[in-house]
Amino acid sequence: MNILITGANSGFGQLIVRDLLREGHTVVGSMRDVAGRNAKTAADLAAQGAKVVEIDVTDDASVARGVAEARDKIGEIDALINNAGVGAHGLQENFSPDDFRRLFEINVFGVQRMIRAVLPAMRARREGLILNVSSLLGRVALPFYGPYNATKWALEAMAENYRAELSAFGVEVALVEPGGVPTGFIANLMHPSSRDRDPGYG
């Protein structure tokens, strides 16, 4: 199977690429800044047998270029794994609307960009798989994870709607809802841009 995965530079992304390659799949791992801060990771994935492309899921043009490059490297994309994402931690009231926008831009709008880029070909072939990496926090709300909860609940609704709308086209849509796993995810959590509401909470 030819598989494209976003966010292949860390955490689940690297683990998924490794396991898919071990199972004999052809994998394209995407990430930002392939020639810069992620150059070593890109080289490591390539050494394992993965193809690597640059995709910034927050940018329409980057998504279009990256998906086209992935097709050039492996042919048709049989499965898309939407793994790129960022977490958030802090009092929800402290997060500004711009903080929320940044989080939704990656965790929700980025997924929509990727799905729109691969769906026409999948529908035309009447087969494909879109796998969305959500979270247990897409089902259960926990304090201090509010904005992240909101993005994952939105992702779950989007996936359910796609599952229904694509059911007649042979394209399957699925969710994975991991719990807490010791990856680099925690170290890269987004925090509110202000702490000015802290005193009101004691």
Structure tokens given for 46: 């390539």
CB 150 within 8 A of CB 107: no
148 assigned to active site: yes
- Please provide the DSSP assignment of 3-34 as one string: EEES-TTSHHHHHHHHHHHHTT-EEEEEES-T
Please report which residue ranges of the chain form alpha helices under DSSP H: 11-22, 39-48, 60-74, 97-104, 110-125, 146-165
Q: Which residue has the tokens 């969305």?
A: 132
CB 54 within 8 A of CB 30: yes
Which residues lie across from 10 on neighbouring strands?
none
Name the active-site residue from 145, 148, 162, 201: 148
Active-site residue list: 148
